[in-house]
Amino acid sequence: MQNRKKFICILISVVLLIFILSELCLPALAAGFLKKLFYDKADSIDDIKVEIRTFPALKILSGKVDQLELETEGLLVNNLYVKEIRLSYQDIILKKNGFSGINTLLEAIITEEAINNYFRAEYGVLKDFQLKISPEKIILLGKIEFLSMFFNVQLSGNLVLNDNKDIYFVPVHFQIENLNIPVNVLKRYIEGFDFSFSIKELGIPLDISSIRVDHGFIVISGGKSRIYEQF
């Protein structure tokens, strides 16, 4: 009887030890996996923080995570530099090359400078263009060739989300040199330039719902059951 009690005590101690070690180690291992995933998918990242909450942590062994919070600074992917991004998820399933889950929070900041650098890198025709962003208006300045002539052009318009959650600059007014002209004269020509960008290139679940324009930057927001917070 004494030996049996001793055996039970040892067994309980071992189980408790395994439980404690799993609570300490498994979330850190899962966070390390997710950090590596982001580093692999991005061209570069200045800083990244990952916090995992799962109980019991042993669920991580089956690839399940209850909640995930992630913050990055200076994330560069396919020539688009995202100054800051905050993400939250719940009901996450870890996979070999990624994860799935419900994106409950998305807040990302992209600066005017980053958008201009992206346009120059991705669209040769836009190398001489500059986008200026403010809450009052968004202006695109540059030079275009039209009817075998070069014109200095100023376009004012809006940044909008399309159905695919790409962000487009949609012009609503043109000024060519010192002449004001109707929108429809150059609308089709300008639309052919495709002034657009996206933060979906990471290939992770992103629930993008809106963009907000501020002085010199934009904020991309989203997430199901989201509570809005500013950076």
Q: What is the 3-state secondary structure (H, E, C) of the chain?
A: CHHHHHHHHHHHHHHHHHHHHHHHHHHHHHHHHHHHHHHHHCCEEEEEEEEEECCCHHHHHHCEEEEEEEEEEEEEECCEEEEEEEEEEEEEEEECCEEEEEEEEEEEEEEHHHHHHHHHHHCHHHCCCEEEECCCCEEEEEEEEECCEEEEEEEEEEEEECCCCCEEEEEEEEEECCEEECHHHHHHHHHCCCCEECCHHHCCCCCEEEEEEECCEEEEEECCCCCCCCC
pLDDT at residue number 228: 39
Alpha carbons 184 and 179: distance in angstroms, whole number = 15
Q: Please report, for residues 37, 39, 124, 151, 200, the alpha-carbon distance to residue 32 in angstroms, rounded to integers and kept in the order given.
A: 9, 11, 38, 52, 22
- Tens-binned pLDDT, residue by residue, of the chain (231 aa): 666 666 566 656 555 555 565 556 788 889 999 999 999 989 999 999 999 999 888 888 888 999 999 999 999 999 999 999 999 999 999 988 889 899 999 999 999 999 999 988 887 766 678 889 998 889 888 877 666 667 777 888 888 888 888 888 887 877 766 555 555 666 566 666 667 888 887 888 899 999 999 999 999 999 885 443 333
pLDDT at residue number 229: 39
Sheet holding 80-95, edge to edge: 44-53, 64-77, 80-95, 98-111, 217-222, 208-214
CA dihedral 77, 129, 127, 42 (to 10 degrees): 0
Q: How many CA atoms lie within 13 A of 136 on its CB side?
A: 0
pLDDT at residue number 231: 32
Contact 106, 84 (CB under 8 A): no
Contact 121, 135 (CB under 8 A): no
Nearest to 197 by CA among 111, 112, 119: 119
pLDDT at residue number 158: 86
pLDDT at residue number 51: 93
Tell me, rounded to whole angstroms, the distance of Cα 137 from its chain centroid.
24
pLDDT at residue number 178: 56
Tell me, rounded to whole angstroms, the distance of Cα 187 from its chain centroid.
30
Nearest to 143 by CA among 158, 130, 162, 157: 130
